[in-house]
Amino acid sequence: MKSTLDRTRLRELMDRELARFEQGHPRSRELFERGKANLLGGVPMPWMTEWAGPYPVFVAEAQGARFTDVDGREYVDLCLGDTGGMTGHAPKEAVAAIAEQAAKGITLMLPTEDSIWVGAEMQRRFGLPYWQFCLTATDANRFTIRLARAITGRPKILVYNYCYHGSVDETIITIEDGVAGPRPGNVGPPIDPTETTRVVEFNDLDALEEALAHEDVACVLAEPALTNIGIVLPDPGYHDALRELTREHGTYLVIDETHCICAGPGGATKAWGLQPDFLTIGKPLASGVPAATYGMTEEVARRASAYLQTLPTTDVGGIGGTLSGNALSLAAMRATLEHVLTDEAFDRMIALGERWSHGVKDAIEQHALPWNVQRLGCRAEYWFTPDPPRNGGEAAANDDHELARYTHLYALNRGILLTPFHNMALMSPATTEEDVDAHSSVFDEMAAELAR
């Protein structure tokens, strides 16, 4: 169901914003055209075609919560590399550690002492005692799923409708018109994901119980709250029931904290007292240097070690990679956790998330728009619906791509960058009240014009 805006007027406003964008970004256009000679679609990665303008802005430099583009325009960055830059760009302690380690050797396929510090810090934050390192959250999820399947001997996993856990084939599945199948948009799925995966709606305990009752599910892979189809929070008691049901059916619970780290220094796991068997996280852990990790309980570690000992070799095990656990990632992770994404930083970031939400909510109320705002710690998001959706299916049905493109381009033209796939803003340790208020005032202007 789409909001009842005057679409003709919306298109006229969008044309005005497109013209403004083109006028203000000639150098980005030039680079984009040049890029087409050697880059598919003119960009280094397909997602970079998803921005609201006709071409992406090319970045000259980023510092803290701001960046400058090649046309000399400055932006408040509320996208922060879709969480990869949640530390703020180029935090000085991490940059120093990265430079120092780069000069001392980047990758050796041998451990460095930093790995021990980081393992202990992960336990302090998330409670799980044993950790392994890799380069992306996708890999952390992939490796965890493999281990869960191997040690339970069960073939399937379970995920939520419209979840996102990276490019993990088993997870790219949706329910369309009541039928599970490959998610629209997935490129070349290797097999029908219903062969590997059960999928249910978030917050639907009956569906979860029915799916687990087959006792063929090795693990549930869950974000504590959905964050990739907008923020969808769990119903009260949902996580307790999820934990109870997974235990009852011998299914492991994997909590993916890659985005929900926004809830606090120990993510939603610590903030809400979750008790996962495995935990996965990547993206901001090393201030933008590729780094990710997965943790496990004592019981899982014991079973995993026993299983791994039965293998003739681990190098084709599918749970590692040449660059995994490299010295540079670990040094960057240590500096990030020790000095940047600290407990104190989260207090400030979460207060800014609240401030951002209030700014948006005030404008929504002031201009009587049928929208709402949802928040998880230092991540917040507006929805074009009066109430927040309760699950991925509802969220996807309420997607209003045309309106989102407009609100994003409006903000971009006025120096604010939002996350392209949804209406989301993230606060970093470097974000200021002034940055947040800049968004509130642009959002208010935009809302006033739309409501007219």
- Contact set with ligand PLP (CB under 6 A): 82, 136-138, 141, 164-166, 223, 228, 256, 258-259, 282-283
In the bound state with ligand PLP, the residue whose beta carbon lies nearer, of 141 and 251, is: 141
In the bound state with ligand PLP, the residue whose beta carbon lies nearer, of 69 and 201, is: 201
In the bound state with ligand PLP, the residue whose beta carbon lies nearer, of 5 and 225, is: 225
Q: Which residue is nearest to ligand PLP (CB)?
A: 166
CB 321, min distance to ligand PLP, A: 12
Q: 3-state DSSP call for residue 414?
A: coil
CB 203, min distance to ligand PLP, A: 17
Cβ proximity of 197 and 211 under 8 Å: no
CB 386, min distance to ligand PLP, A: 26
354 CB contacts (<8 Å, ≥6 apart)?
375
Cβ proximity of 391 and 51 under 8 Å: no
CB 166, min distance to ligand PLP, A: 3
CB 290, min distance to ligand PLP, A: 8
Q: Which of 431, 381, 386 is nearest to 407 (CA)?
A: 381
Token digits for 405?
A: 């493109």
Q: CA 338, 426, 220, 136 torsion: positive or negative?
A: negative
**Residue reference for tokens 């980005």:** 28
In the bound state with ligand PLP, the residue whose beta carbon lies nearer, of 82 and 354, is: 82
Buried b (16+ CB within 10 A) or exposed e, 242-281: bbebbeebebbbbbbbbbbbbbbbbbbbbbbebebbbbbb
What DSSP assignment string belongs to 12-70?
Answer: HHHHHHHHHHHHH-HHHHHHHHHHTTTSGGGSSSGGGG-SSSSSPPPEEEEEBTEEEET
In the bound state with ligand PLP, the residue whose beta carbon lies nearer, of 32 and 164, is: 164
CB 78, min distance to ligand PLP, A: 16
In the bound state with ligand PLP, the residue whose beta carbon lies nearer, of 77 and 223, is: 223
In the bound state with ligand PLP, the residue whose beta carbon lies nearer, of 45 and 316, is: 45
CB 223, min distance to ligand PLP, A: 5
Distance (Å, rounded) from C-alpha 283 to C-alpha 227? Answer: 14
